[in-house]
Amino acid sequence: MSRIVGIDLGTTNSLVAIVDSGIPYVIADPEGQRLTPSVVHVPGPGAATIVGHPANRVRILKPAETVYSVKRFMGRRGSDIAREEMLVTYPVAGSGSGPVTLQLHGRAWTPEEISAEILRKLKADAEASLGEPVTRAVITVPAYFNDAQRNATIRAGELAGLTVERIVNEPTAAALAYGLDKLKDKARIAVYDLGGGTFDLSVLELNQGVFQVLSTHGDTRLGGDDLDKRVVAHLCQEIRSAGGPDLSPATNTPDLLPLLSRVREAAERAKIRLSSETETEVSLPFLTPDFNFTCRLSRARLEELTRDIVERTRAHCLRSLSDAKLEASALDQVILVGGQTRMPLVRKLVSEWFGCVEFGEVRGDLRLGDEYHKAKGPELNTGVNPDEAVALGAAIQGEILAGGFRNLLLLDVTPLSLGIETFGGLMNVIIPRNTTIPVKAGELFTTAVDNQRSMLIHVLQGERERAMDNWSLGRFELEFEAAPKGVPRVGVQFEIDANGVLHVLARDVKTGHQKVVQMKSAVDVDDADVQKMVEESVANAFDDLRARQWIEAKIRAGETLIATRKTMAEYDAELDPDYRTQLHQALDEVESVLSLENPKTKTGDPARLKAATAALDEVTKPLAEYAMDKVMEAMLRKKGVL
Pick the catalytic residue from 147, 170, 495, 526.
170
Out of 13, 49, 101, 620, name the contact with ligand AMP by CB under 6 A.
13
Out of 6, 10, 52, 171, name the contact with ligand AMP by CB under 6 A.
10
Question: In angstroms, rounded to a whole number, what is the distance separating the alpha carbons of residues 126 and 72?
Answer: 25
Q: What is the DSSP code (8-state) at residue 343? A: S
Subset of 362-391 contacting ligand AMP (CB under 6 A): 387
- Taking the alpha carbons of 516, 521, 526, 532 in that order, is the dihedral positive or negative? positive
Q: Does 397 bind ligand AMP (CB under 6 A)?
A: no
Q: Which is nearer to ligand AMP, 389 or 587 (CB)?
A: 389
Question: In angstroms, rounded to a whole number, what is the distance separating the alpha carbons of residues 513 and 73?
Answer: 38
Out of 271, 299, 507, 548, name the contact with ligand AMP by CB under 6 A.
271
Is residue 387 flagged as an active site residue? Answer: no
Could you tell me the smallest distance in angstroms from the CB atom of residue 12 to ligand AMP? 4
Question: In angstroms, rounded to a whole number, what is the distance separating the alpha carbons of residues 547 and 334?
Answer: 40
Q: Which is nearer to ligand AMP, 391 or 551 (CB)?
A: 391
Q: Does 49 bind ligand AMP (CB under 6 A)?
A: no
Pick the catalytic residue from 62, 71, 271, 554.
71
Could you tell me the smallest distance in angstroms from the CB atom of residue 339 to ligand AMP? 2
Question: In angstroms, rounded to a whole number, what is the distance separating the alpha carbons of residues 67 and 83?
Answer: 17
Pick the catalytic residue from 117, 147, 193, 524.
193
CB 258 within 8 A of CB 63: yes
Q: Does 272 bind ligand AMP (CB under 6 A)?
A: yes
Could you tell me the smallest distance in angstroms from the CB atom of residue 226 to ligand AMP? 9
Q: What is the DSSP string of 355-410?
A: T-EETT--BTB--TTSHHHHHH--EEE--S-TTTHHHHHHHHHHHHHTT-STT-EE
Which residues neighbour 505 within 8 Å (Cβ) at sequence distance 6 or greater?
442, 491, 492, 493, 494, 495, 514, 515, 516, 517
> x/- string (CB under 6 A) for ligand AMP, residues 274-293?
-x------------------
Encode 375-414: b = buried (16+ Cβ within 10 Å), e = exposed. Answer: ebbbbbbbbbebbbbbbbbbbbbbbbbbeebeebebbbbb
Q: Does 12 bind ligand AMP (CB under 6 A)?
A: yes
Question: In angstroms, rounded to a whole number, what is the distance separating the alpha carbons of residues 59 and 51?
Answer: 11
Could you tell me the smallest distance in angstroms from the CB atom of residue 171 to ligand AMP? 12
Q: Which is nearer to ligand AMP, 196 or 488 (CB)?
A: 196
Is residue 193 flagged as an active site residue? Answer: yes
CB 314 within 8 A of CB 171: no
Q: Which is nearer to ligand AMP, 301 or 513 (CB)?
A: 301
Question: In angstroms, rounded to a whole number, what is the distance separating the alpha carbons of residues 94 and 76?
Answer: 9
C-alpha distances (whole Å) from 619 to each of 26, 176, 366, 367 are: 77, 66, 74, 72
Out of 6, 24, 195, 604, name the contact with ligand AMP by CB under 6 A.
195
Which H or E run includes 516? Answer: strand 514-518
Subset of 123-182 contacting ligand AMP (CB under 6 A): none
Q: Does 11 bind ligand AMP (CB under 6 A)?
A: yes
Q: Which is nearer to ligand AMP, 12 or 216 (CB)?
A: 12
Could you tell me the smallest distance in angstroms from the CB atom of residue 393 to ligand AMP? 13
**Three-class SS state of 602:** coil
Out of 24, 75, 94, 224, name the contact with ligand AMP by CB under 6 A.
224
Q: Does 339 bind ligand AMP (CB under 6 A)?
A: yes
- The end-to-end CA distance of the chain, in Å, is 83
CB 168 within 8 A of CB 148: no
Q: Does 205 bind ligand AMP (CB under 6 A)?
A: no
Is residue 62 flagged as an active site residue? Answer: no
- Residue type present at position 605: D
Is residue 71 flagged as an active site residue? Answer: yes
Q: Which is nearer to ligand AMP, 85 or 443 (CB)?
A: 85
The piece of 93-101, 269-277, 504-512, 549-557 that touches ligand AMP (CB under 6 A) is 269-277
Residues designated as active site: 8, 71, 170, 193
Q: In the complex, which residues of this chain contact ligand AMP (CB under 6 A)?
A: 10-13, 195-196, 224-225, 268, 271-272, 275, 338-340, 342-343, 387
